[in-house]
Amino acid sequence: MSLGQYLTSRVFFLQLLASAAIIAVIGYLFMHWLTFTTDHGHEIEVPNLAKLTEEQVEAKLDDLDLDYVLLDSVDYRSEFPKYSVVEQDPLPGTKVKVGRKIYIKINASGFSSVKIPDLIEKTYREAVPTLKALGLEPGTITYIPNLGKDMVLEMRLKGRNLKVGDRVLKASKIDLVLGDGKASYVDESQADSTATEPAETQNDEQ
């Protein structure tokens, strides 16, 4: 049988179909094996770990065949319990594979302290961003007679006067005493002459 006759024969087409069927079966088995080894389609929803302690996180993730890595602690946040999870990555609801590591950050045990900056004779607008940059908050504002309108004259915490460099806890509310801009300026020379007038009058009378 010549090559041309073989290529057009029934035997050739049967062999070609058999080869295609074998390749299809091998491909199907290979895809199933790949799916099994990569655990494709078996994903786990990341739980919400917020406000859980590290021990609770470990127990919860173990039940889901997930792992965790503690990255660091963050500045204390009053809305979270001490030593509880504040941040996590991936976020809750994310689909991940078995064994995926969840990265967490833990709340500190309390507020850290910062030094009081020099705000004296700064304007209120200048003082507020400085306080917030340090993790502090502006508290009650009190005005007293002074030429400098909205100028910081004193800093207080719970009624106690603060000096530059004093340490206070973050998130503290710093009360500010400001000038009202309504005080009048009296020339010192005028004040001195006024003070000496009675003495001069008395001498004249004598």
**HEC profile of 162-191:** CCCCCEEECCCEEEEEEECCCCCCCCHHHH
* Residue 141 burial (CB count, 10 A): 12
* Residue 46 burial (CB count, 10 A): 20
Least confident among 33-47, 51-65, 133-147, 174-188: 33-47
Spatial distance between the Cα atoms of 143 and 34, rounded to a whole number of angstroms: 75
**pLDDT per residue as tens digits for the range 121-155:** 999 999 999 999 999 999 999 999 999 999 999 99
DSSP code for 117: P
**pLDDT per residue as tens digits for the range 50-79:** 999 999 999 999 999 999 999 988 888 889
pLDDT at residue 164 in the model: 94
Rounded to a whole number, what is the distance in angstroms from the first to the last CA of the chain? 159
pLDDT at residue 34 in the model: 62
pLDDT at residue 36 in the model: 56
What would the 3-class secondary structure string for 8-62 be? CCHHHHHHHHHHHHHHHHHHHHHHHHHHHHHCCCCEEECCCCCCCEHHHHHHHHH
Query: Is the Cβ–Cβ distance between 77 and 107 less than 8 Å?
Result: yes
Q: How confident is the model at residue 203 (pLDDT cuts 50, 70, 90)?
A: very low
pTM reported for the whole predicted model:
0.53
138 cis-preceded (ω within 30 degrees of 0): no
Percent of the chain with pLDDT over 70: 80
